[in-house]
A and B are shown apart, each in its own frame.
Chain A
Amino acid sequence: MGIDRREFMRLAGIGGVVFASGLPGWARAQGYGASADEFFFVQLSDLHWGFSDPKVNPDFAGTLKKAIVAVNGLSQQPDFVVFTGDLTHSTDDPRERRRRLGQVKEMAAELKVKDLKFMPGEHDAALDNGKAFQEFFGATRYTFDHKGVHFIALDNVSDPAAALGDEQLAWLAADLARRDRKAPIVVLAHRPLFDLLPQWDWATRDGAKAVELLMPFEHLTVFYGHIHQENHHMTGHIAHHSAMSLMFPLPAPLSQPKRTPLPWDPGQPYRGLGFREVELEDKGLKVAIEERPLSSRGAA
Chain B
Amino acid sequence: MNPASRRRAFLGATLALGLTGSLALGGVSLVAAAPKERVIKLTVKRFEYSKKEIELKLGQPVVIEITSQDVPHGFSVPDFKVRADVVLPGKMTRVRFTPDRTGTFIYLCDIFCGTDHEKVEGRFIVRA
Contacts and interface: CB of A to CB of B under 8 A. Distances in A.
A122 B115 CA distance: 10
Interface string B94-128: 00000000000110111111110110010000000
Contacts of A90: 112, 114-115, 117
Given A127-B114, A162-B110, A258-B121, A198 B76 contact: yes
A199 interface: yes
B72 interface: yes
Nearest to A161: B111
A259 B118 contact: yes
Most buried by B among A89, A157, A160: A160
A160 B72 contact: yes
Contacts, number: 46
A199 B114 contact: no
B114 A201 contact: no
B86 to A, nearest CB: 12
Interface size grouping (class) on chain B: 10 to 19
Given A258-B121, A259-B118, A199 B112 contact: no
Main secondary structure of the interface of A (DSSP, over half): loop
Main secondary structure of the interface of B (DSSP, over half): mixed
B37 interface: no
A201 B115 contact: no
B108 A201 contact: yes
Interface size grouping (class) on chain A: 20 to 34
Nearest to B73: A160
Nearest to A157: B112
Interface string B70-83: 00101010110000
A126 interface: yes
A92 interface: yes
A168 interface: no
B78 A127 contact: no
B91 to A, nearest CB: 17
Nearest to A195: B78
Contact of B110 (A91, A157, A161, A259): A161
Contacts of A259: 118
Interface string A118-140: 00001100110000000000000
Given A160-B72, A198-B76, A258-B121, A89 B110 contact: no
B108 A160 contact: no
A258 B108 CA distance: 11
26 contacts: A89-B115, A90-B112, A90-B114, A90-B115, A91-B115, A92-B114, A92-B115, A122-B112, A123-B115, A126-B112, A127-B112, A127-B114, A160-B111, A160-B113, A161-B85, A161-B110, A198-B76, A198-B110, A199-B78, A199-B79, A199-B106, A199-B108, A200-B106, A201-B109, A201-B117, A258-B121
Given A198-B78, A201-B109, 8 more contacts: A90-B112, A122-B117, A161-B85, A161-B111, A161-B112, A199-B78, A201-B117, A258-B121
Interface of B: 72, 74, 76, 78-79, 85, 105-106, 108-115, 117-118, 121
Interface of A: 89-92, 122-123, 126-127, 157, 160-162, 198-201, 205, 258-260
